[in-house]
Amino acid sequence: MAEFKEISPNASATAKLTNWFENRFPTAFDAYRVHMSEYYAPKNFNFWYIFGSLALLVLVIQIVTGIFLVMHYKPDAAKAFESVEYIMRDVPWGWLIRYMHSTGASAFFVVVYLHMFRGLLYGSYRKPRELVWIFGCAIFLCLMAEAFMGYLLPWGQMSYWGAQVIVNLFAAIPFVGPDLALLIRGDYVVGDATLNRFFSFHVIAVPLVLLGLVAAHLLALHDVGSNNPDGVEIKGPKAPRDAQGHPLDGVPFHPYYTVHDIFGVCVFLMVFSAIIFFAPEFGGYFLEYNNFIPADPLKTPAHIAPVWYFTPFYSMLRAITSEMMYALIACVVGAAAFAVLKTRLIGLVKGAIVVAAAVVVVAMLSFDAKFWGVLVMGGAVVILFFLPWLDNSPVKSIRYRPSWHKYLYGVFVVFFFVLGYLGVQPPSPLGERISQIGTLFYFGFFLLMPWWSRIGETKPVPDRVIFAAH
């Protein structure tokens, strides 16, 4: 048993109360010191570093508002839509709770996309933070599952038909697809069984996994330390330290970055509140107009599209047509030919590459394009997990990479936005062609990264972080 810490009898009442708690719950105070007051973060953080704390804030908003919504929601196909209307019209402040939750879903993906893009810019996935990045990608995957399952719960037209389309995609998987789709639906069509399954996962199962991953993400981050815009390790073996062993290029997270984050939180809450009170549907992007119509299995909407945060990946799904398969086959054959003719590999390895390419081409010709579309849509997320091993640049941060890298990243962002926009639009020949180009660029960006990330002359990386006091 640890010894009790003594305190002066003349100490203030607050100090005495703090001492009383610390003696009886020292673990909590140790955690505060490790993760806040004695956790040293780089002193050159910029505004890009507020999105992690904003994601945590939105997670809390979603959990709290979700608890209140569950009090009045009925997961019954005959009553779900009416229960949402009851929340909106009759429950005191129910409309506010519902709009906070629906707007919070979109806000979650906004801050998470920006948080991930910051990691991409500054190489926050590089050694020794590979596990931090993997946990982050797992969080993103859980968020997508949570959002998809929650999307069905209002039981509106777009919820119902969106779920019908997405679940039916699983049926395209060879051999196990039909049984898998039946397992997900719980019936031969999206109905009461599906609603109950999705409700259970949305409210209990996925949030538990999500909270565990968030805890693992934060603990892994604080074990290896935060990255910074310069990509310089402030806690490395050669990093300068003061007499107490604290890094000279770091400052305690509290109070310096708690104040920094509070400012970001205030700005975020002003924007968040403005959307809730003045434009909760956000032009039909946050809440589709068809979702204010009860689900009708006998009436299909003219255009079925998922919510905006899924649309880049939905565009990739739609881009994979029978015509597109020939372009993909050409890519596989070209990659295999390049590996055989231009690389210094032993003959056995070259033979294995040729055989593997032939097997892939046969599979691509054998299975329906719809299956490969599902595979591409899933692969667009899964490939993010491998980013730490795809990037071979000698430097981490975009600041010290060749200037043309910035333009390449810019084109990547433009294509991602274009894919997102096309995903909410009805199919068209021009849109299909642009989606195919965007899909090829998206995968080319990552799959060719081991090659292009090494090209060009990098700028010298400083030994210490560059920081100007303000």
Annotated binding site for heme b, which residues? 101, 115, 202, 217
Binding site, annotated residues for a ubiquinone: 222
Instruction: Name 256's Cβ contacts closer than 8 Å, sequence gap at least 6.
Output: 41, 43
b/e 105-139 (16+ beta carbons within 10 angstroms → b): bbbbbbbbbbbbbbbbbbbbbbeebbbbbbbbbbb
> What does the alpha-carbon distance between residue 125 and residue 131 come to, in Å, rounded to a whole number?
8
Instruction: Provide the token pair at 33.
Output: 């010191």
Nearest Cα to Cα of residue 331 among 361, 310, 292, 288: 361
Tell me phi and psi for residue 41, to 5 degrees: -110, 155
Binding site, annotated residues: 101, 115, 202, 217, 222
Residue-by-residue DSSP string for 152-199: HTT-BHHHHHHHHHHHHHHTTSTTTHHHHHHHHHSSSSSSHHHHHHHH
Is 319 in a helix, a strand, or coil? Answer: helix
CB 366 within 8 A of CB 325: no
> What does the alpha-carbon distance between residue 46 and residue 172 come to, in Å, rounded to a whole number?
45
One-letter amino acid of 375: L
Instruction: Name 372's Cβ contacts closer than 8 Å, sequence gap at least 6.
Output: 320, 325, 328, 364
> What does the alpha-carbon distance between residue 397 and residue 462 come to, in Å, rounded to a whole number?
11
Q: Which residues pair with 247 in a beta bridge?
A: 241
Residue for token digits 């107009």? Answer: 289
> What does the alpha-carbon distance between residue 169 and residue 124 come to, in Å, rounded to a whole number?
34
> What does the alpha-carbon distance between residue 17 and residue 58 come to, in Å, rounded to a whole number?
32
By residue count, the chain amounts to 470
> What does the alpha-carbon distance between residue 369 and residue 148 come to, in Å, rounded to a whole number?
23
Nearest Cα to Cα of residue 442 among 357, 331, 333, 361: 331
